[in-house]
A and B are shown apart, each in its own frame.
Chain A
């Protein structure tokens, strides 16, 4: 992880207060809402939190995606994440690696808060460390109470799309707040510190075996190659 700097002053007090007090949504139970909700192509298919598309709607979505330019980054990204909306999707299959290791994939592993879950948009006052122009930006918060875990995993992504991933704690480090990337644990950070993944495809995981909650802002960006209404 590459340390970028501390940007705590960019965090508005009302944002911080909302993030700290918001209970978040249980993951992976709410994974249906994951990245697909931010995707300009997919978002029109998602009407509410736990919505599962009908087979007809899903087939239509895939047909639309197949008809688009397959070299376009947004289309490729959408195609990868369209399976979140598949009505035939089974969590045990999607999370087979975790299931086989013995994790309860239905458990409350951590809490997620996405753009649609909070009253603010960080892009109204874009983070100063982010080169956001002509980029598709995804951001979310992961919150972990003591005992919450995020097993080691590699984020799903198209290896041909150059993605930047940022990790920004909004709470100060406390012993037991663990973020592991490959064989390294990030410690002694302060709220507002920003780190960038040097390898976006690195194995990583997190856990809170401390005594207080932990809140992290995560941002990914990738270059878009055509003008879309990105909200």
Chain B
């Protein structure tokens, strides 16, 4: 992970309130992945995704995903001048994202990772064998390798909120 700087002043307090007040989609359970694949509404799983769901199943809630469309605010990252997608992952204590490699749709652009709160013990992000700790809200990292194995877990005592931004590879 490449550290790019801190953008704490850019984060609005109201965003945090909004994220905490909206539950979001319980992933993967509420995505009905198997049903969507069967109905042809979703592309088949890539290898890493298949491996994760083979071990963990698709019928549990690992974490909450809050996509831009379900939140009352929009963002314009000051470090970007490209088209992008964004979402927030919210993990309550005990929730996690198993280690995995991202799918092909993330290979064209860049991926950014920004915690919306200061680090707390038990808030863990693993990127290959590196753990990102002791960060403060607004710290920004870029994935150096889009195929890196990564995963996250909250074994702390408060929710963990991460903003994720992925560029599409197209300029505005």
Q: Tell me whether A149 and B126 are in contact (CB under 8 A).
A: no
Across-interface contacts of B155 in A (CB, < 8 A): 149-152, 180, 205-207
Check if B128 is an interface residue, CB within 8 A of chain A. yes
Q: Which 5 A-B pairs have the closest CB atoms?
A: A176-B99, A185-B131, A152-B122, A101-B157, A187-B129
Check if A182 is an interface residue, CB within 8 A of chain B. yes
CB distance from A174 to the nearest CB of B (A): 9
How far is it, in angstroms, between the C-alpha of A151 and the C-alpha of B119 when the chains are bound? 16
Chain A interfacial residues counted at CB < 8 A: 31
CB distance from B3 to the nearest CB of A (A): 16
Across-interface contacts of A180 in B (CB, < 8 A): 121-122, 124, 131, 155
Check if A146 is an interface residue, CB within 8 A of chain B. yes
Interface centre among B52, B55, B97, by most A CB within 10 Å? B55
Chain B window 134-159, contacts with chain A (Cβ cutoff 8 Å), 1 for yes, 0 for no: 10000000000000010111011110
CB distance from B36 to the nearest CB of A (A): 23
How far is it, in angstroms, between the C-alpha of A205 and the C-alpha of B154 when the chains are bound? 10
Check if A175 is an interface residue, CB within 8 A of chain B. yes
Which A residues are closer than 8 A to B by beta carbons? 97-98, 100-104, 107, 146-147, 149-152, 175-176, 178, 180, 182-185, 187-188, 203, 205-207, 209-211
Check if B133 is an interface residue, CB within 8 A of chain A. yes
Contacts A101-B93, A178-B153, A183-B134 given; 16 further ones with Cβ under 8 A?
A100-B157, A147-B56, A149-B96, A149-B155, A151-B94, A175-B149, A176-B151, A180-B131, A182-B121, A183-B121, A184-B131, A185-B124, A185-B126, A187-B131, A207-B124, A207-B153
Q: Tell me whether B94 and A184 are in contact (CB under 8 A).
A: no
Check if B84 is an interface residue, CB within 8 A of chain A. no
Question: Given contacts A101-B156, A146-B98, A209-B97, are A203 and B124 in contact (CB under 8 A)?
Answer: no
Question: Given contacts A180-B121, A180-B122, are A175 and B51 in contact (CB under 8 A)?
Answer: no
Across-interface contacts of B55 in A (CB, < 8 A): 146, 211
How far is it, in angstroms, between the C-alpha of A188 and the C-alpha of B129 when the chains are bound? 7
Check if B92 is an interface residue, CB within 8 A of chain A. yes
CB distance from A102 to the nearest CB of B (A): 5
